[in-house]
Structure 1
Amino acid sequence: MKHRVYGSYLTGYMYQILDYFKKNISPSRVLDVPAGLGVFAQALEQLGHTVVKVDIHGKEGFVNANMEAPLPFKNGEFDVVTCLEGIEHVINPVGLAQELVRVTAPGGTIIISTPNITNLHSRLQFLFTGTFFQFDAKGMRQTNGTPIDRGHVNPFTPLHLIYIFGSQGCSLKEIRVDRAKRKVLFPLYLALKPFSYLWTKKVVKGTPKETYPGVNSVHGLLTRFKLMFGRSQILLFKKQT
Structure 2
Amino acid sequence: MYLEAAPGERLLDVGCGSGELMARMQDLGWRVEGVDFDAMAVQAARESGLKVRLGTLEEQPYPDGHFEAITMSHVIEHVHEPLALLSECHRILEPGGRIIVVTPNIRSLCHRRFRTDWRGLEPPRHLQVMAPSALLCLAQGAGFQNFSIWTSMQSADFMYVASTFIKRTGVHSEDEAASRFERLRGRLMQHQEWAMLKVRADVGEEIVAVLEK
Deviations for 1:149-205, whole angstroms, at most 9, x for unmatched residues? xx2111111111111111222121353525162544977999xx8xxxxxxxxxxxx
Counterpart of 1:161 in structure 2 is 135
What residue identity is the alignment partner of 2:105?
Answer: N
**CA separation of 1:185/1:233 partners in 2, compared to 1, >3 Å: closer, same or farther?**
closer
**1:95-174 matched pairs, under 5 angstroms:** 95-126=84-115, 129=116, 133-137=119-123, 140=124, 151-170=125-144, 171-174=146-149
Counterpart of 2:152 in structure 1 is 177
What residue identity is the alignment partner of 1:102?
Answer: R
1:80 aligns with 2:69: yes
Deviations for 1:69-121, whole angstroms, at most 9, x for unmatched residues? 44321111101011111111111111111111111111110110111221111
In the superposition, the TM-score normalised over structure 1's length comes to 0.62
Counterpart of 2:19 in structure 1 is 38
In the superposition, the TM-score normalised over structure 2's length comes to 0.70
Q: Distance in 1 between matches of 2:206 and 2:100?
A: 13
1:66 aligns with 2:51: no
SS of 2:95's equivalent? strand
SS of 2:114's equivalent? helix
Q: Please tell me whether the aligned partners of residues 117 and 133 of structure 1 are also in contact (alpha carbons under 8 angstroms).
A: no
Q: Distance in 2 between matches of 1:179 and 1:35?
A: 20
1:21 aligns with 2:3: yes
Q: Distance in 2 between matches of 1:26 and 1:236?
A: 20
* Aligned alpha-carbon RMSD (Å): 2.9
What residue identity is the alignment partner of 1:238?
Answer: E
Counterpart of 2:28 in structure 1 is 47
Deviations for 1:193-223, whole angstroms, at most 9, x for unmatched residues? 8xxxxxxxxxxxxxxxxxxxxxxxxxx9992
Q: Please tell me whether the aligned partners of residues 100 and 110 of structure 1 are also in contact (alpha carbons under 8 angstroms).
A: yes
Deviations for 1:118-139, whole angstroms, at most 9, x for unmatched residues? 111112333xx3x7642143xx
**CA separation of 1:135/1:96 partners in 2, compared to 1, >3 Å: closer, same or farther?**
same
Unaligned runs of 5+ in 1: 1-16, 141-150, 194-219
Q: Please tell me whether the aligned partners of residues 7 and 31 of structure 2 are also in contact (alpha carbons under 8 angstroms).
A: no
The more displaced of 38-47 and 162-171 is 162-171
**CA separation of 1:135/1:107 partners in 2, compared to 1, >3 Å: closer, same or farther?**
same
Q: Distance in 1 between matches of 2:73 and 2:132?
A: 14
Identity across aligned pairs (percent)? 24
